Amino acid sequence: MQPDVDQLCVNTIRTLAMDAVQKANSGHPGMPMGMADAAYVLWTQFLKHNPGDPSWPDRDRFVLSAGHGSMLLYSLLHLTGYDLPLEQLQQFRQWGSMTPGHPEHGDIPGVETTTGPLGQGLSNGVGLALAERLLAAQFNRPEFDIVDHCTYALVSDGDLMEGISHEAASLAGHLGLGKLIYLYDDNHITIEGNTALTFSEDVPGRFEASGWHVQVVDGHERTAVAQALHQAQSETERPSLIICRTHIAYGSPNKHDSAKAHGEPLGVDEVRLTKEALGWPPDAQFFIPEQALVHFRTALDRGTGAQREWETLFARYVEAYPELGAEWKRRMAGELPAGWEKVLPRFDAEAAPIATRVAGGKVMNALAPVLPELVGGSADLHPSTKTYLDAYPAVRKGDFGGRNLHFGLREHAMGGILNGLALHGGFRPFGSTFLVFSDYMRPPIRLASMMRLPVIYVFTHDSIFVGEDGPTHEPVEQVAALRAIPGLTVLRPADAKETVAAWRWTVENRSGPVALLLSRQNLPILKQTEGDGVVRGGYIVADAPDPQVILLASGSEVELVVQAQEQLTREGIAARAVSMPSWELFEAQPAAYRDAVLPPGTRVRVAVEAGVSLGWERYVGVHGEVIGMTRFGASAPYKVLAQQFGFTAEHVVGRAKACLDQAARLQ
Amino acid sequence: MQPDVDQLCVNTIRTLAMDAVQKANSGHPGMPMGMADAAYVLWTQFLKHNPGDPSWPDRDRFVLSAGHGSMLLYSLLHLTGYDLPLEQLQQFRQWGSMTPGHPEHGDIPGVETTTGPLGQGLSNGVGLALAERLLAAQFNRPEFDIVDHCTYALVSDGDLMEGISHEAASLAGHLGLGKLIYLYDDNHITIEGNTALTFSEDVPGRFEASGWHVQVVDGHERTAVAQALHQAQSETERPSLIICRTHIAYGSPNKHDSAKAHGEPLGVDEVRLTKEALGWPPDAQFFIPEQALVHFRTALDRGTGAQREWETLFARYVEAYPELGAEWKRRMAGELPAGWEKVLPRFDAEAAPIATRVAGGKVMNALAPVLPELVGGSADLHPSTKTYLDAYPAVRKGDFGGRNLHFGLREHAMGGILNGLALHGGFRPFGSTFLVFSDYMRPPIRLASMMRLPVIYVFTHDSIFVGEDGPTHEPVEQVAALRAIPGLTVLRPADAKETVAAWRWTVENRSGPVALLLSRQNLPILKQTEGDGVVRGGYIVADAPDPQVILLASGSEVELVVQAQEQLTREGIAARAVSMPSWELFEAQPAAYRDAVLPPGTRVRVAVEAGVSLGWERYVGVHGEVIGMTRFGASAPYKVLAQQFGFTAEHVVGRAKACLDQAARLQ
């Protein structure tokens, strides 16, 4: 008996995954083989997409949270007609190919987000679905549902064990994201063996407790999967989880249901045996039956038709609501409205001292009316981080017209959701917490950096000057640890003026994530600081002719080096003070500029930063010194900590003189 | 009517918290006021402890996971008779006091763990309870339950929102930790407002889904709390959650049930009004009624009696089982058995190349029989991290005789549980995952460092040479980010020989956590490496008289600098190659040693590490260069990546010569 076309299609996915992993001699064949049935049903019967235009704004989003099963996604992309040639599948996991080990967002059409680190895709999906609801609330009008799509994801037991999945699921349930539909590959197998070794949760109970709609199906019964997807679509008040009981490496005579099929090739012999068992030509490689390909490729016509229908609707929308239509186009293109920068507040050096977190809050609230794409929130700390957009309501279940998100104490999911909001398009998302808790969300920050997403992190309470809360709440190593992430721009402004400039640069630059590090404590508005300097990353704030010593600092410590420079000048020592709000921006300057700020001939340098010294040696060199933290902080009023840990102008002056003396002795 | 003594005691806790926060003008009064009733019941009727000897091994453990309510704990410690004088409570949050903003383990008697970052204490408690079960399985004998205590914690909605709490709760339920009893302060208030803003989970349903026994009580009904605690104690198969519905700032006429009482003082007037409402002398500060103190201090006699009873039992145990008794004492003292190091494997430079993860696995399996305190596991990656102790079973529900823990994909909880195991005493815990996923567990690594806990992290797949899995799985910034943490020792051995030495140093040093960074790929066993060098952090592996250039590297890149040194020698350039397995150990050496390895006069230096360069400038100076990563990695076989990213001996030679040329030009 000939297999029907559905079976042919499903087995094509399976054999492509087997072949690609075998050829690369590396990868995860078991998951694509196990989830081929359910994914096939989703992609051919439910997913609204146009392989011919992966950027169609109203497409459904599909996230492969279990990114190790990347060959499932690559197979589906190729088969349904995305611009991902078969030759690329044959180059799986090779240098320069479009088929890396885990799906990478960017150059591969149809890959909505970079996945692999478990739990991340699951949380990105919540952000994508939230973006859809927010955009719909802002742009849809009666009879014009121009924003109306679902977000699907395929998640694994590994995703569900990660804490971020609980956080994200809890928020999705809380917000009632009814158009979020997840398929859970319940295959009972992890790398270490059976999930029973470590995972005995009542998964339906858990998701129901978080407000989800839960169904359980046999993941190889395609009709049942389709029925469950229909049910999930008709459930509009709650996100849906469809638990698909599957068998890893389905079809493999000897590795079916085995941990051996999780993260390594089946082996040449087993590939052959599996193909035989599936009724496949056992020696054909990357074989795609014509009948299967034709069937898969109907997605192109369907997709083109669906997109055309939407475009017709959108054209009528633009006629009916020309301003909204223009605004939509601007938002989706990521362009800024003309004159947006005029609303930026100005801070005067004569004004009273102000914490940069407070200045930052004023900037955000000034920007909010002209930048409706600015949405975000904090991990239960907005009264402290000052990131609430006061003129706008909070986002809540059933009412997505707000701009403020209450993430709760879920920093990790906040990071993942921000990535989803940015990936969707139409938003400039921000998230906020204390700098020390950036540690709770490094994995999504890393992924935002890798994907170059324009996410904004507002990390306040940026040093030991948190004070009384003590070392658990005082960042010491976090500034360095953020600077270590490639592609992340870290900005630590010295005062309110630099804060405005930092925000301005952030708004103008969409090429990657930005971390704004802001003070808890009040800081004087320095007459020496200037916005033009901030965008160059480092600049001279106080100078003397032929400086013998250069003092460098960022953030709240700039005040100290300015005072120290004045003191040294009074003592007849020619000194320069440099504000270094951003190493990344400074490094991006031409060498001539960098050498003008830090002349190679002036070797005596002292850097001051209320954090670990790691990396400052780049700027102070071997004759220099870093006044930083070599231990964790302590609980005490911040002015006491400044004295105890040497963050005073006197101490800076003393160390500068000591360095000068030492340099003189060495000469 | 005079209030009864219970009410007096509870209000003493409340007023002490109010007064201390008000005097410090900083802190969280609301939680101690809300949880005073339940905590009082626990501490006076259930908690087995001896305030006179906080180190009694069989005491119950109490964790204040909601560490911001630190005044609750400090009040209880002072009142029940721990060596924490009232003067210290009056110095709340001041420099050098024993009452920092959040509880800090170490110098404060009775503080079992450092808390504040939410979710951490909750996971530490799981580790403490697991330690109790493991020790009991190893040491208890019929009629000698020398290990038999409970672990209690007070957790908040903030704890429960954090992902780590889900991970830890899931594991606790999976393992059936029946002696784990948590009180949940269900006060409906977070910093941003009502928990309904963001937290609508069915908490009982959630914990039941994770295998917990759940009860709900009015947290101000002390009899009900006591009854629930009795029930929880008699439930031995499942961990228990007692949901205490409470009112934050209970007793405050105007701030009761208000987010305003969460993180700031009540205010002088409100303190006065609250005292009046509680029937307290309104103007007395830090007032402790004699009757209340006498009642609280009965804990001393009870505790002394309980401990004496245990000591009698233990003395009989030592008689009956002298070897076990001696072993117990050794384990609890953290001493090593004589001659333990003899079992360490030896690797020969003639032998075949071997990945340091594989060498590490051999070391661990050799150590396991002589170091029964070595217990741990991996976050579902042991087949890759090679950390399974093959001769021992896994720990599982109902059978705690094993040594291998299946943490599942729960890196964050793994970190918190390792801290709990270390805090308990009797163990040298290890946890393992890929280096890139250390990002998922930075908060507990930070706390281990702060508490100086002897936790061992085995982070394998330590560079881009992960290869095919691609950038999501390739650490780039993680080595630098770990080096940034004060108190953490990072060891990245160059080969199997250095791996043995690194493990040896780790076993011998209990002064803080250690991260062992091990390779995925095979590495030659170099004839130049040596164990004695490893413990000094950096040492010369190849040399020439009067070297013009110094090449430095760690881990897998040491091979490259050794090859490059040979090549340079062949070309007549005097070069030195230095292996730098640990910056922390190198920095701890005397200056004379450091200068001997890196002579200040030899300014031309090239460091090679397959990660970001951040911090290497400390060693290479201004004339030097770092061959590192300036971007994320890529998916390809690792030898291709080495070529593409310049990690070849040829490239090192070329850069060394370029640096020499440049230095010559500058002179």
Percent of chain B with pLDDT over 70: 99
Contacts of residue B526, defined as CB under 8 A and 6 or more positions apart, other chains included, come to: B349, B494, B495, B497, B541, B558, B559, B562
C-alpha span between B431 and B404 (Å, rounded): 10
Return the amino acid letter for B651. H
Mean pLDDT, residues B472-482: 98
Under 8 Å between Cβ of A318 and A144:
no
Of B411, B474, B559, B609, which one is the catalytic site residue? B411
Which chain B residues have a beta carbon less than 8 Å from that of A436? 117
| Helix orientation angle between B120-139 and B411-424, rounded to the nearest 10 degrees | 50
For residue A359, pLDDT over 70 is answered with yes
- B317 CA: distance to closest CA in chain A (Å): 34
Of B441, B484, B446, the closest CA to residue B459 belongs to B441
Show the tokens assigned to B440. 């998922």
Residue A261 clears pLDDT 90, i.e. is over it: no
Closest CA to B618 of A625, A262, A395: A625
pLDDT per position as a tens digit, A91-127: 999 999 999 999 999 999 999 999 999 999 999 999 9
pLDDT bracket for residue B665 (50, 70, 90)? confident
C-alpha B408/C-alpha B492 separation (Å) is 25
Mean pLDDT of A455-471: 98
Stretch B364-368: mean pLDDT: 98
Mean pLDDT of chain A: 97
* Structure ipTM over 0.90, yes or no: yes
Which of A74, A468, A511, A521 to mutate to test binding with chain B, by most B CBs within 10 Å of its CB?
A468
pLDDT above 60 (res B416): yes
The CA–CA distances, whole Å, from B225 to A219, B79, B245 equal 46, 21, 10
List CB contacts (< 8 A) between B104 and chain A. 470-472, 635
**For residue B2, pLDDT beyond 60:** no
- How far apart are alpha carbons A606 and A550 in whole angstroms? 6
Task: For A550-575, write each residue's pLDDT tens digit.
Answer: 999 999 999 999 999 999 999 999 99
At a CB cut-off of 8 Å and minimum separation 6, what does A230 contact? none
A242, A232 Cβ separation under 8 angstroms: yes
For residue A2, pLDDT over 70 is answered with no
* Contacts (Cβ under 8 Å, ≥6 apart) of B410: A161, A162, A163, B167, B168, B170, B171, B379
Quick one: average pLDDT of B347-352?
A: 93
Which residue among B158, B201, B410 sits closest to A161, beta carbon to beta carbon? B410
Contacts of A197 in chain B (CB under 8 A): 394, 396, 406, 408
State residue A556's pLDDT score.
98
For B621, other C-beta atoms within 10 Å of its C-beta total: 17
pLDDT at A612 over 60: yes
Indicate the helix (H) or strand (E) that contains A230.
Answer: helix A222-234
Does B667 score more than 80 pLDDT?
no
What's the pLDDT at A3? 63
Nearest chain B residue (CA) to A447: B472
Amino acid at B258: S
pLDDT class for A1, splitting at 50, 70, 90?
very low
* Record: contact B101-A476, CB cut-off 8 A: no
**Cα–Cα distance measured from residue A265 to residue A128, given in angstroms and rounded to the nearest whole number:** 33
Identify the pLDDT of residue A260. Answer: 86
Verify whether the Cβ–Cβ distance A200 to B211 is below 8 Å.
yes
Spatial CA neighbour of B626 closest among B580, B591, B589: B580
pTM recorded for the entire structure:
0.98
Name chain B contacts of A381, Cβ cutoff 8 Å.
191-192
Q: Please, which residues have CB within 8 angstroms of residue B636's CB and are 6 or more apart in sequence?
A: A93, A94, A95, A96, B467, B468, B644
Alpha-carbon distance B6 to nearest alpha carbon in chain A (angstroms):
31
Q: What integer pLDDT is reported at residue B228 of this predicted model?
A: 98
User: In this structure, is the dihedral angle defined by the CA atoms of residues B152, B154, B157 and B158, taken in order, positive or negative?
Assistant: negative
CB contact under 8 A, A202 and B191: no
The two structure tokens encoding residue B461: 């797949």
Neighbours of B284 (CB within 10 A): 12
For residue A244, count other CB atoms closer than 10 A to its CB: 27
- Residue B241's beta-bridge partner residues? B182, B214
Enter the tokens of residue A59.
């497409």
What digits encode the pLDDT tens for the residues B30-41? 999 999 999 999
Q: Which residue of B has its CA nearest to A175?
A: B198
Cα separation, A564 vs A576, in Å, equals: 10
Nearest 5°: CA angle at B218, between B212 and B219? 85
Using CA atoms, how far apart are residues B617 and B609, in angstroms rounded to an integer?
12
**CA distance from start to end of chain B:** 91
Q: What is the mean pLDDT of residues A454-476?
A: 98
Q: What is the pLDDT of residues B594-633, one digit of tens each?
A: 999 999 999 999 999 999 999 999 999 877 899 999 999 9
If one counts every other C-beta atom within 10 angstroms of the C-beta of residue B323, the result is: 8
Taking CB atoms and an 8 Å cut-off, how many pairs form between chains A and B?
A: 346
Cβ contact B621–A621 (<8 Å): yes
pLDDT above 50: residue B558: yes
pLDDT (0 to 100) of residue B1: 47
Collect all residues of chain A within an 8 Å Cβ-Cβ radius of residue B157: 409
Q: Please spell the DSSP secondary structure of A445-487, one letter per residue.
A: HHHHHHHT---EEEEES-SGGG-TT-GGG--SSHHHHHHTSTT
d(Cα B170, Cα B395) in Å, to the nearest integer?
Answer: 15
The residue whose two tokens read 């669906």 is A306
Instruction: Indicate if the alpha-carbon torsion angle B247, B252, B253, B257 is positive or negative.
Output: negative
**Cβ contact, residue pair A163, B165, below 8 Å:** yes
Is B411 in the active site?
Answer: yes
* Cβ distance of B199 and A174 shorter than 8 Å: yes
